[in-house]
Amino acid sequence: MHKNRGPVYYGDYLQLPKLLDSQLPLSRKFANESNGECHDEMLFIVVHQVYELWFKQILHDLDAILATFNKTYVPESELSSVVQKLERIKKIQTLLIGQFDVLETMTPMDFLEFRDLLIPASGFQSVQFREIEIKLGLNTNDRQHVDREFFLGRLSETDRAKLTDLETSPSLLKLVEGWLERIPFTKMDNFNFWDEYQKSIQTILKDDEEIILRNSASLSEVQKNIQLENLSVTRTTFKSLFDKIAHDELVVNKQRRLSQSAILNALFIMLYRDESMLALPFQVLTSMMDIDENFTTWRYRHALLAQRMLGTKIGTGGSSGHQYLKRAADNNRVFVDLFNLSTFLIPRSRLPVLPPEVKKQLNFNV
């Protein structure tokens, strides 16, 4: 605990003179008798500066989370701190999304009064947001419909070098992958969980097939064949969980990003989330999905704002504007593998019964 070492003045501590003197509208700089300062440019600057301040806090918390998962062993006691920081990031994202409500009080015609002054600056050049994406697990090569040289070419040489170097560091996705691979509960001397799980799956799929055939009288031949085909696809999807060659092929085709063992252990956490030892790991995984979802929502709001302000005009950074932003919202996700685990969830009543020794390890015994 640090103690006061002398009087502190509010404005000095927050460096308010420097902070509040950093809103410098370009329209003010170039104002003349026919064109004065554009009133709403101040709003535009303040909102984006606030974005950058919150990005700084997200990076501050994200760095601490990365440091925790970068250990060869992550103590259970440190997961509560990880969850707390992930929760804070989610709360900040709520504020980031809410700022669009403020920005949309500016009309398109008011924006057009100063928009040309911004060219070629754009959100492409928010280095902090790119840092967040990279540290979560979205590298430039992972982006769809984006030319790497064009994308990085919008940055200064210093910023481009910084982000290129950052892409060589382990992301949250890769570090969590390693953590998941070390989960010890699914294979023990006298118990192989996945053998039992596959038995449950086969029973469930067999029941589904019987339901289709039993009700075939009320279905047309086409409808019955469609349902049977869908069931066949489901069988193939489940099989890919346990077929390493099939899984690795999906990774090569960029349909999955996590290793087979990481996905299986994440699924185990999802299935047995009610066990005491898995409660915090479950919160970690769901919080990561929440963060991915929130950034997707933020990107969609950004795309809608661009369309609202510019229609089909190109963006100030040379992109296709609304269309580019919409594609980014659709494709620039990190933790899709975790979302897709819902494919493999089964009713609690069909879960394999865990042996007493495994149950004991999964619970805090007083």
- The CATH number assigned to the domain holding 63 equals 1.20.58.480
Domain containing residue 148: 39-186+257-338
What is the pTM for the complete model shown? 0.90
Q: Which two tokens stand for residue 190?
A: 């006298």
pLDDT score for 366 = 41
pLDDT score for 122 = 84
Domain assignment present for residue 149? The answer is: yes
Domain assignment present for residue 287? The answer is: yes
pLDDT score for 147 = 57
pLDDT score for 142 = 77
pLDDT score for 60 = 98
Phi, psi at 216, each rounded to 5°: -65, -25
Question: Tell me, what DSSP letter sits at residue 33?
Answer: S
CA distance 242 to 237: 10
Domain assignment present for residue 45? The answer is: yes
Domain assignment present for residue 354? The answer is: no
Q: How many domains does the chain have?
A: 1
Cβ-Cβ contacts under 8 Å for 201 (sequence gap 6 or more): 238, 346
Domain assignment present for residue 192? The answer is: no
- Cβ(296)–Cβ(333) below 8 Å: yes
Residues facing residue 192 across a β-bridge: 187
pLDDT score for 361 = 82
The low-confidence residues of the chain, meaning pLDDT below 70, are 144-151, 314-321, 364-366
Cβ-Cβ contacts under 8 Å for 176 (sequence gap 6 or more): 69, 262, 284, 288
Q: Which two tokens stand for residue 352?
A: 């394999």
Domain assignment present for residue 224? The answer is: no
Q: Which two tokens stand for residue 19?
A: 């902070």
pLDDT score for 299 = 93
Domain assignment present for residue 121? The answer is: yes
